[in-house]
Amino acid sequence: MAFDTETTGLSPSAEGLVEVAALRFNLLTGPKEYFQTLVNPGKPIPWQATNVHGITDDMVFESPSIDKVLPLFFRFLEGAVPVAHNAPFDIGFLSLHSLRSGLQAPDVPVLDSCMFSRRVYKEAASHSLKSLVQDFSISEQTFHRALADARSCMEVFRILVGKSCGVNASWDELLAHHGRTHSFLDGSRPVEAAPPSFEPLFQALQQKRSLWILYDGNFSPREVTPLLLYAKGSQQYMEATCHLDGIRKSFRLDRIRRVLQNKESFHESANPSGQ
């Protein structure tokens, strides 16, 4: 199954999805079923993003939010092996927004047609999807729309399989040529354990209340309301509403120097004698 996303920007923690598409296919015969939907990202789409994919605020105004789309997308994925071009980008958005929606992303191997191309088509001048489409004389000429890119990804992947191990190869033979697989859990996953000093963050998250943190580079504490504790790679993060400007932000846990229940506690602990 080939899939692709379009977004409002490059950072999953700060940006949203505006389109999700996928198609189930057979290596021999091609596409079988399609899934495609625009997504309301809950924020204005920057003109820079619209210049890339052509999706505007008016186009997504009546579209479902990502928490409504993801269960349908994951259901469409069931029983298939997903493949995307530059898969870590799409995984980053889908995994973090799954956590935000309270959903468990499927723990399945995800293939990457871009990485696959680098391994088996080393003579290519570029491994971008557009360049590979041109190299392989694929008829698709629409780029940066999710369904069109998923279709191009499928065609590129089918050709790469043919170039390497053949369409009748076993799963083990395919993996041997493809190399390591990705996972939706490579993107973002729940924080299961953190130092005792961060226990107040877990409590505030469960109780849906605010607290105060002192963060690296700041001279004064800020009030935040924790929304999500998640890990990406070896780093752990707190996603929270920052009361300083009302914006949802991600804070690295290793850069939070102190956590206290109220602002006055900072002054008391900084001056315990009261002088």
Per-residue confidence band for 196, with pLDDT thresholds at 50, 70 and 90: confident
Kindly report the number of other CB atoms within 10 A of residue 185's CB atom.
17
pLDDT at residue 259 tops 50: yes
Distances (CA, A) of 182 to 78, 81, 92: 17, 11, 11
Q: What is the pLDDT, as a whole number, of residue 41? A: 97
* Residue 128 CB partners (closer than 8 Å, separation 6+): 114
pLDDT at residue 86 greater than cutoff 60: yes
Average pLDDT over residues 94-114: 95
What are the structural domains of the chain?
2-187 (3.30.420.10), 191-270 (2.30.30)
Question: What's residue 186's pLDDT?
Answer: 86
Rounded to whole angstroms, the Cα distance separating 121 from 116 reads 8
* C-alpha to C-alpha distances, 133 to 111, 114, 230, nearest whole angstrom: 18, 12, 37
* Alpha carbon distance 117, 127 (integer Å): 7
Q: What is the mean pLDDT of residues 59-74?
A: 98
Other Cβ atoms less than 10 A from the Cβ of 231: the count is: 17
Element (H or E) spanning 205, and its range? helix 199-207
pLDDT at residue 203 in the model: 92
Q: How far is CA 177 from CA 2, 29, 162, 271, in A?
A: 18, 21, 11, 63
The stretch 89-98 carries a mean pLDDT of 96
Find the DSSP H helices in 43-121: 47-53, 57-60, 66-77, 87-100, 113-120
Average pLDDT over residues 88-106: 95
Mean model confidence pLDDT for the chain: 93
Residue 121, pLDDT above cutoff 80: yes
Q: With bands split at pLDDT 50, 70 and 90, how would you rate the model's confidence at 275?
A: very low
| CA 157 – CA 231 distance, rounded (Å) | 30
pLDDT at position 273 over 80: no
